[in-house]
Amino acid sequence: MIVVGGSRGVGRRLVEEAHRHGAEVLALARQPGVLQELARSLPGLETMSLDATDPEAPPKLFDAMVPDILVICAGTHPSLAPLHEQSWQQFAVNWESDVKIAFHFCKAALTRPLPEGTRIVLVSSGAALAGSPLTGGYAGSKRTQLFIANYSQKESDRLGLGLRFLAIAPRILAGTELGESAIAGYSDYLGISADDFIRSMASPPTAAHAAEAIIELAASDKPEGSVFVVSGKGLETVQL
């Protein structure tokens, strides 16, 4: 398994769970110090420090390991402010990171191509389906990741490559850096406490739920669907 964005949040939890289950795992992230700390805690873990937005990152990574499962969950935190308080650079930050990473890695999976049967899982966000008015272009960028997975699957089918592209859209993940930032921003915006905001969410998931969902999809012979919402109750198929 290769985890792009394996040093924090869902990616880190997935690396830990996959390693615990005995998988051979390579974690990619930008900061070598964080990766070194992670490797010390998980003996046998392989790591690589690269900028995932670089078009040359996928071939370098695939030269180091040809995955059975490729999980793309790297990205950047959005700016938390209403639309009229954001600059274009703040609004577009996730298009220049999350979307670019998904584009380069899915393109590389198709053009190399990765071996038949490889699972490619894009970690999007529940914001892709419900919107997110305090995060500028974040929801639109995460929706585009779902389209990229869909388009990639169509191309794999058309070319007879036998690849399986899947996407998950976790709701706000309490306990992660991004999730806690969103909870704080929205509770402040609505004038309620963070605890009250969390109570207003139906079955909020954790990073552990998202990691378990990815492992479940990777282990399934024939997942019923291509896009899945992740909540505290598990996976739910979504029709785009």
Is there a contact between 176 and 9 (Cβ–Cβ < 8 Å)? yes
Confidence of residue 174 (pLDDT cuts 50, 70, 90): confident
Query: Contact 35/61 with Cβ under 8 angstroms?
Result: no
Do 200 and 131 contact (CB within 8 A), yes or no? no
Cβ atoms of 28 and 6 within 8 Å: the answer is yes
Q: What local confidence, expressed as pLDDT, does residue 176 receive?
A: 87
Top-confidence residue, 32 or 174: 32
Residue ranges of E strands in the chain? 2-4, 26-29, 46-49, 69-72, 119-123, 164-170, 227-231, 234-238
First to last CA, the chain: 27
Residues 164-173: tens digit of each pLDDT: 999 999 988 8
Q: What is the pLDDT of residue 96?
A: 96
Tens digits of residue pLDDT in 116-155? 999 999 999 999 999 999 999 999 999 999 999 999 999 9
pLDDT of 223 over the 90 cut? no
pTM for this model (two decimals): 0.94
pLDDT at 72: 98
Question: pLDDT grade, residue 210 (50/70/90)?
Answer: very high
Residue 224: pLDDT over 80: no
Query: What's the whole-number average pLDDT of the chain?
Result: 94
Q: What is the pLDDT of residues 182-207, one digit of tens each?
A: 999 999 989 999 889 888 887 888 89
Query: In DSSP terms, which residues pair with 111 in a beta bridge?
Result: none
b/e sequence 129-140, b meaning 16+ C-beta within 10 Å? beebebbbbbbb
Q: Measure the CA–CA gap between 66 and 1, rounded to whole angstroms.
A: 9
Distance in angstroms (rounded) separating the CA atoms of residues 61 and 26: 9
Query: Any idea what DSSP says for residue 69?
Result: E
Task: Provide the pairing of β-strand 164-170 with 119-123.
Answer: parallel
What letters, b where the CB count within 10 A reaches 16 and e where it falls short, cover 204-238? Answer: bbbbbbbbbbbbebbeeeebeebbbbbbeeebeeb
Please tell me whether the peptide bond between 133 and the residue prior to it is cis, using omega within 30 degrees of 0. Answer: no
Give the amino acid at 148: I
